[in-house]
Structure 1
Amino acid sequence: MTSHTIVLLPGGIRFEADGATSLLAAAEAAGVELPSSCRNGTCRTCICRLRSGAAAHLIEWPGLSFDEKREGWILPCVAVARSDLEIEAPLARRVPGS
């Protein structure tokens, strides 16, 4: 499976994600903490803005409006990478010891 490089801005935190694992799960596996709660695309706690690259949501209609989708907002708990990505995630942080 193809691996994609994910860069979280503004901190420049990097990790790898394949096209089948949610961005949230890939971040956690790499020792990166992102805000999250429901993990099913409804609560919007994890909402981030995609700056470059292509991502797809694993559910038909995540908790985003049409306009939010068009503006590049994604929900990492139910989104996967389709290419290398740059994502605005100002609250992202490396978990100490990882």
Structure 2
Amino acid sequence: MASHPVLIQPSGLRFDAPAGTSVLMAAQAAGIKLPSSCRNGTCRACMCLMLEGSVAYAIEWPGLSRDEKEEGWILPCVAQATGALEIQAPGAAPIEPAAAPVRPLTGARR
């Protein structure tokens, strides 16, 4: 399956987005957290600026105005990279592994 390199600015984080996978889901699979909420293109929480590249949308008309699209804004939750992509997403960060829960020591008493 083909994949496309994605560079996130200003963090410099990089990952590959497999064809047919949203940019948001590919980032998460690579251990990168992007701001998001609805994951269906309506809330705009994930909105970021596309600096280079191109995307295709999994839905007919995502929650962006025509002007926003022309300015380069994208919604990574429903956008699929169609080639190398560079985006500006200041809120991007590595996903921190969850700390293991602290459990009290148990055992038989002597």
TM-score w.r.t. length of structure 2: 0.86
Provide the C-alpha distance between the structure 2 equivalents of 1:89 and 1:8, rounded to a whole number of angstroms: 6
Q: How many residues align?
A: 97
Provide the C-alpha distance between the structure 2 equivalents of 1:68 and 1:56, rounded to a whole number of angstroms: 15
Q: Counterpart of 2:80 in 1: which secondary structure?
A: strand
Tell me the CA shift for residue 74 of structure 1. Answer: 0.4
The structure with the largest alpha-carbon Rg is 2
Code of the residue aligned with 1:63 in structure 2: it is G
- Structure 1 runs (4+) deviating above 2 angstroms are none
Provide the C-alpha distance between the structure 2 equivalents of 1:40 and 1:95, rounded to a whole number of angstroms: 21
Provide the C-alpha distance between the structure 1 equivalents of 2:48 and 2:61, rounded to a whole number of angstroms: 16
Code of the residue aligned with 1:5 in structure 2: it is P
5 Å matches for 1:41-52? 41-52=41-52
Residue 72 of structure 2 corresponds to: 72
Q: Counterpart of 1:76 in 2: which secondary structure?
A: coil
Instruction: Give the unaligned 5+ runs of structure 1.
Output: none
Q: Does 1:91 align with 2:54?
A: no
Instruction: Give the unaligned 5+ runs of structure 2.
Output: 98-110
Q: Counterpart of 1:39 in 2: which secondary structure?
A: coil
Residue 107 of structure 2 corresponds to: none
- Percent identity, aligned pairs only, is 59
Q: Counterpart of 2:77 in 1: which secondary structure?
A: helix
Q: Counterpart of 1:61 in 2: which secondary structure?
A: coil
Code of the residue aligned with 1:55 in structure 2: it is V
Residue 108 of structure 2 corresponds to: none
Q: Counterpart of 2:59 in 1: which secondary structure?
A: coil
Residue 37 of structure 2 corresponds to: 37
